Amino acid sequence: MTETNPRIISRVEMSPADAKWITLKKIKYVDQEGVERLWECAERRTRKSTGVDAVAIFAIIRSKTNAFPPSTVVIEQYRPPIGKVIVELPAGLIDEGESAESTAIRELLEETGYVADKVIEVSPVVVCDPGMTNANMQLVVLNVTLDDQLEFPTPKLEVGEHIITKVIPMSKLKAELEEYARKDFVVDARLSHFASGFALAQELKM
Amino acid sequence: MTETNPRIISRVEMSPADAKWITLKKIKYVDQEGVERLWECAERRTRKSTGVDAVAIFAIIRSKTNAFPPSTVVIEQYRPPIGKVIVELPAGLIDEGESAESTAIRELLEETGYVADKVIEVSPVVVCDPGMTNANMQLVVLNVTLDDQLEFPTPKLEVGEHIITKVIPMSKLKAELEEYARKDFVVDARLSHFASGFALAQELKM
């Protein structure tokens, strides 16, 4: 199949009545001084009874023989809101009845082909951009153990999903993301903050 | 002045025509296979000609005498979209004609009272939640050098701004954020990802 570069045709204001996935809300609230105030916010319509929209996955990919350094996998995906290919952590919306852990294991397999052998950590529910939206998520850290050399399994993508994976040694994560940004990619803020924190601990030797 | 706990009175759907700060857009785009598709997205109306919505600030607070360990400052702020007090990095929208650096230095002073003596790093433009919004930002790392002991300067808040600052040693950042989450606070994803990256580098001794 011949692939073309995706492109935006039009970008027009829409009413929430015409929107299936997200909506706008006007919030009336009382502030710390007892004054009634207004705030505007965007919300997903897809949140299930779990109360959490999505998970992102930080996979620690290790070799039993130390054939390669501890690495992680990021994905490249075209995102229409930005109109560019975004470099981000594997991620996905949580389905009804699904836990954060099982969503993370499923999405890692679907988007990257890697099979997690251990859930290392599930973060508390955190909020993505709390001045503008109510979007929330949990970060799930998964362990992927490979027998020897790095392997590149085939993702189990759905029809219409276009995702490219890239495995990066953790000690080079920040530098590689900066390299992406110098080309025509844009990096997700949560991934870049993770990488900045990792690099700062290395620099401070803490 | 007696302070009360802020609370939500109502949360109702609104049309973009009634919204001052944000809007909804329907995006028509052509995907990798040449198929025309639709996507829904929320946008801020406040973006200036710089093309970047906001900065967040990671301040490295150090003592000339090593009287305290390298620390950072986070803020606690009620956020109506979430209806809770959020723990986040100091941050602010970029005004017209302002650079990321100068916005960061100004906001750090206003929100925390700390005076930066050096810009350590300005990140590329990164995107906050690219499946849902076009919101973008830059992370600015600032250095704050104190002569000896930790000082707690007075923030220069605007009328109606209610922000509490907390200084946290970097090596305890992740644990302190988890402690916040066990209480009635919610942590911002970018801050929590930074802390997770920092802690992972410490654990892996990289």
Q: Percentage of chain B with pLDDT > 70? A: 99
CA distance A74 to A87: 7
In sequence order, what DSSP letters do the residues of A10-36 get, joined into one string? Answer: EEEE--GGG-SSEEEEEEEEE-TTS-E
Is residue B193, in this structure, part of any structural domain at all?
Answer: no
Chain A residue with Cα closest to B70: A204
CA distance A91 to chain B (A): 10
Domains of chain B: total = 2
Q: Same domain for B96 and B51?
A: yes
Task: Band the pLDDT of B159: cuts 50, 70, 90.
Answer: confident
Q: Same domain for A137 and A148?
A: yes
* Cβ-Cβ contacts under 8 Å, B74 against chain A: none
- Cβ <8 Å between A26 and B16: no
Instruction: Give per-residue pLDDT as tens, A52-83.
Output: 999 999 999 999 999 999 999 999 999 999 99
Q: Same domain for A26 and A64?
A: no
Instruction: Give per-residue pLDDT as tens, B182-197.
Output: 999 999 999 999 999 9
CATH number reported for the structural domain that contains residue B77 in this entry: 3.90.79.10
Instruction: Give per-residue pLDDT as tens, A7-55.
Output: 999 999 999 999 999 999 999 999 999 999 999 999 999 998 999 999 9
- Cβ <8 Å between A9 and B32: no
Q: Same domain for B105 and B160?
A: yes
Q: Same domain for B19 and B53?
A: no
A143: which 2 tokens? 């362990």
Identity of the residue in B29, B80, B181 whose CB atom sits nearest the CB atom of A39: B80
CA distance B165 to chain A (A): 16
Q: A20-37 burial string, b = 16+ CB within 10 Å, else e?
A: eebbbbbbebebeeeeee
CA distance A106 to B87: 30
Is residue B110, in this structure, part of any structural domain at all?
Answer: yes
Chain A residue with Cα closest to B11: A27
CA distance A154 to chain B (A): 19
- pLDDT for position A41: 97
B137: which 2 tokens? 């930002």
- Cβ <8 Å between A193 and B198: no
From the CA atom positions of chain B, what is the Rg in Å?
19
* Cβ-Cβ contacts under 8 Å, B189 against chain A: 126-128, 136-137, 139, 190
Q: Same domain for B26 and B36?
A: yes
CA distance B206 to B194: 16
pLDDT at A206 over 80: no
- Cβ <8 Å between B194 and A191: no
CB-based contact A128:A136 (threshold 8 Å): yes
Instruction: Give per-residue pLDDT as tens, B23-70.
Output: 999 999 999 999 999 999 999 999 989 999 999 999 999 999 999 999
CA distance A182 to A186: 9
Is residue B174, in this structure, part of any structural domain at all?
Answer: no
Q: Same domain for A92 and A134?
A: yes
Instruction: Give per-residue pLDDT as tens, A115-169.
Output: 999 999 999 999 999 999 999 999 999 999 999 999 999 999 988 789 999 999 9
CB-based contact A111:A155 (threshold 8 Å): yes
Q: What single DSSP character describes residue B68?
A: S
pLDDT at B89 over 60: yes
Is residue A186, in this structure, part of any structural domain at all?
Answer: no
Q: Same domain for B68 and B144?
A: yes
CA distance A178 to chain B (A): 7
pLDDT at B75 over 80: yes
Identity of the residue in B16, B33, B191 whose CB atom sits nearest the CB atom of A13: B16
Range of the domain at A29: 14-45
Is residue B5, in this structure, part of any structural domain at all?
Answer: no
Contacts for B163 with CB less than 8 Å, ≥ 6 apart? B75, B76, B77, B111, B155, B157
Query: Biggest alpha carbon distance in chain A?
Result: 63
Is residue A38, in this structure, part of any structural domain at all?
Answer: yes
* Cβ-Cβ contacts under 8 Å, B26 against chain A: 11-14, 18-19
CA distance B13 to chain A (A): 4
Is residue B190, in this structure, part of any structural domain at all?
Answer: no
Q: Same domain for B94 and B146?
A: yes
Task: Band the pLDDT of B206: cuts 50, 70, 90.
Answer: low
- pLDDT for position A2: 63
Choosing among A62, A82, A132, A186, which should be mutated to test the B contact, i.e. which has the most B CBs within 10 A? A132
Q: Same domain for A31 and A56?
A: no
Query: Biggest alpha carbon distance in chain B?
Result: 63
Q: Same domain for B30 and B132?
A: no
Is residue B9, in this structure, part of any structural domain at all?
Answer: no
Choosing among A9, A11, A126, which should be mutated to test the B contact, i.e. which has the most B CBs within 10 A? A126
Q: Same domain for B76 and B117?
A: yes
- Cβ <8 Å between B128 and A128: yes
The full length of chain A comes to 206
CA distance B178 to A121: 12
* Cβ-Cβ contacts under 8 Å, B188 against chain A: 126-127, 130
